[in-house]
Amino acid sequence: MPTISVRLLKGRSIDQKREFVEVVTREAASILKCGPDVIDIIFEDVEKHDWAVGGKLASDK
């Protein structure tokens, strides 16, 4: 059973996540030659002050 873990900065809408899981599940099932019903996707919403890129917190941008 493939499990796809996705970390995102907090703030994405349910509709965005819904569209993401539909597209990623469909494409992963096609590439991995498995049924979409065995693919799990787990979202982890991360606060901007808990994510840094290039030595700067995302909350400071």
Which amino acids are annotated catalytic? 2
How do strand 52-53 and strand 40-46 relate by DSSP bridges?
Answer: unpaired
How many residues would you count in the chain?
A: 61
Beta-bridge mates of residue 8: 45
Q: Helix, strand or coil for residue 23?
A: helix
